[in-house]
Structure 1
Amino acid sequence: MQLTVGPIQGFWDAGLWSAFYERLAETPGISRVVLGELVCSKRLPFYQTRLPDAVAQLVAGGKDVALTSLALITPLKRERRMAAELAAMELEVEVNDLTMLAYLPEGARFSVGPLVNVYNEGTLAVLQRRGAVGVCLPPELSAASVQRICAATDMPVEVWGWGRLPLAISGRCYHARYHDRAKDQCQFVCAEDPDGLAVDTLDDQQFLAINGLQTLSGQCANMAHHLPSLRQAGVASLRLSPQTTGFFEVIDLFADLTSGRIDAEEFCAKALPHAPGGAFCDGFLDGPTGVAWSGARDAVRTQPAGTP
């Protein structure tokens, strides 16, 4: 099974952004990289001039490269211009808002990102006829849906493997509102929380995280326990979402896991210190809720009789 690094969801310092992709280009085990601005068009100018160098480094490092569209393309002139410029580049576009299709020539090859609601094989077939050559499925799909979609298509299917889950995108900026600022005068306050700002309930329970316009899961999704079933279903790749610390250690652990050098339990024990939010979830695949964690269920089942 291959490994894909998805676009950075948070707002990173430009120097950190460049250093990340420079190191990623030299990192073995990664087959594909999707980069660019996914969340907020105001962030792109901070590293836009660095994109060509990052792409060149990744290609030289043997990575398959695609550029992401915004998750929400609004009528703003700058966002329409961004979409048109993205379509004009000679690189594969990962479409994360179907508005992007209006800017792609008929028959142009593209991939479908996890923020597009591909919930069944019929939707994927329509997109394939439009030119889609690959898909990263929405992380909220069940294992049965993943299996059914994989069985119905001949294109590579990817699923979310690691990182805070993208749950929603909005026209409002949560970060700006939290700091009592207007969206247009946000002063890029989201840069203070490059991996998302945790939001707990009034009872101090871990709940969600905010990232500018985006709502993320409070826990870190981790599909290690599901690797055998995902392979059997025909999933070609796992998507790993970047984070500012510990990410290259996570890549190494996934390389060990997918090659069979470690099992899921060892992976989880070693990866937990690097998990954003300090906890795992994988419940969308087969749990009662998205926030559920199969490792917790396994621990209960393996406890000796009479253990509290």
Structure 2
Amino acid sequence: MKIALGPVQYYWSRSTVMQFYESMIDTPVDIVYLGETVCSRRHELRLPDWLDVAGMLADAGKEVVLSTQVLLESGNDLATLRKITENGRYAVEANDMGAVHCLEGKPFIAGPYLNVYSGPTLNLLAGLGARRWVMPLEMGREGLAQMQHDRPSGMETEIFAYGRMPLAFSARCFTARNRNIPKDNCQYVCMDHPNGLLLETREGQPFLVLNGTQTQSALVYTLLHEIATMGDMGVDILRLSPQAEHTANVVDMFHSVIHGTQTIAQAYDRLLPLMPAAPCNGYWHGKPGLELLVA
């Protein structure tokens, strides 16, 4: 199995982003997804900057994929989408059907936000050019087994295997609302929360994380214990989502289990202190997402 690094979901400074990707060069990551998928107001890096990062990573031997924005809200967003889909060098991850339309006839990756839950849908996307699909976050092991049985020949399967889960997107900016300021004058307060803004219940329990227009799980989804099972199911790629600290170490833990240089127990013990919150894996087992089931 290969390891993919998903797009950065948070709003970091330009220097932080550049340093982050420079630090990924020497890691065993095989595939890197780049681009702003959450909010077009985040402009520390524009498309030419992302292409510069892509060139740096490609020169280091990484497969680079440009990810499109999930929720497009303006003509400028659409213009950026078209530039990404017409970049001519790098593969593109389509995160909405508008992107699929722009990419029709070209090889592309069907992102997790397309919500592919059936064989006929996957076959339809394959006919439009999809060569890889990313399983929806809420899909469990049983659903994946059926999809693997039904997937068309040559279609790669990628699983979100680590990180806070992106659960929903909205036209509203919840981080700005938390400061009682409008979205159009948000003052880029997302940058104050490099791992998102934790939302707790009235009892003080972690519930969700606010990340601008995106809502995430409060806990960290991890399928480290399921690597062997996913390998047996024919999964090709594991996606790890970047976090503000320790991402390279997280990559090393997954890589060590895939290649047998650490036991799952050893890697898990070392992974726990690297997480920004407690682990969960409920969706994989067909349970509520915040649950954790470890044999």
TM bucket (normalised to shorter chain) is over 0.9
* Alignment partners' CA distance in 1, 2:69 and 2:264: 33
* Alignment partners' CA distance in 2, 1:130 and 1:197: 38
The structure number with the bigger radius of gyration is 1
Task: Give the conservation status (yes or no) of the 8 Å contact 1:164–1:276.
Answer: no
Cα RMSD over matched residues? 1.2
Deviation at 1:113, TM superposition (A): 0.9
Q: Which runs of 5+ in 1 are unaligned?
A: 299-308
Q: Which residue does 1:32 correspond to in 2?
A: 31
Task: Give the conservation status (yes or no) of the 8 Å contact 2:141–2:286.
Answer: no
Q: Which runs of 5+ in 2 are unaligned?
A: none
Task: Give the conservation status (yes or no) of the 8 Å contact 1:10–1:194.
Answer: yes
Deviation at 1:37, TM superposition (A): 0.5
Counterpart mapping for 1:110-259 below 5 A: 110-153=108-151, 154=153, 155-259=155-259
Deviation at 1:47, TM superposition (A): 4.5
* Alignment partners' CA distance in 2, 1:151 and 1:197: 39
* Alignment partners' CA distance in 2, 1:285 and 1:232: 15
Which amino acid is 2:178 matched to? Y
Q: Secondary structure at the match of 2:49?
A: helix
Q: Which residue does 1:306 correspond to in 2?
A: none
* Alignment partners' CA distance in 1, 2:149 and 2:101: 29
Q: Secondary structure at the match of 1:285?
A: helix
Q: Which residue does 2:15 correspond to in 1?
A: 15
Task: Give the conservation status (yes or no) of the 8 Å contact 1:158–1:238.
Answer: yes
* Alignment partners' CA distance in 2, 1:228 and 1:241: 20
Counterpart mapping for 1:45-60 below 5 A: 46-60=45-59
Identity between Structure 1 and Structure 2 (%): 33
Which amino acid is 1:183 matched to? K
Task: Give the conservation status (yes or no) of the 8 Å contact 1:151–1:234.
Answer: no
Which amino acid is 1:93 matched to? V
* Alignment partners' CA distance in 2, 1:143 and 1:117: 15
* Alignment partners' CA distance in 1, 2:105 and 2:263: 42
Which amino acid is 2:82 matched to? A
Which amino acid is 2:232 matched to? Q
Q: Which residue does 2:72 correspond to in 1?
A: 73
* Alignment partners' CA distance in 1, 2:56 and 2:281: 33
**TM-score, normalising length: structure 2:** 0.96
Q: Deviations over 1:255-283 (max 9, x none)?
A: 11111122222222111111122x00111
* Alignment partners' CA distance in 2, 1:181 and 1:19: 31
Task: Give the conservation status (yes or no) of the 8 Å contact 1:176–1:182.
Answer: yes
1:109 to 1:35, Cα distance in 2 relative to 1, 3 A: same
Answer yes or no: is 1:269 the counterpart of 2:251: no
Q: Secondary structure at the match of 1:62?
A: coil
Q: Which residue does 1:284 correspond to in 2?
A: 283
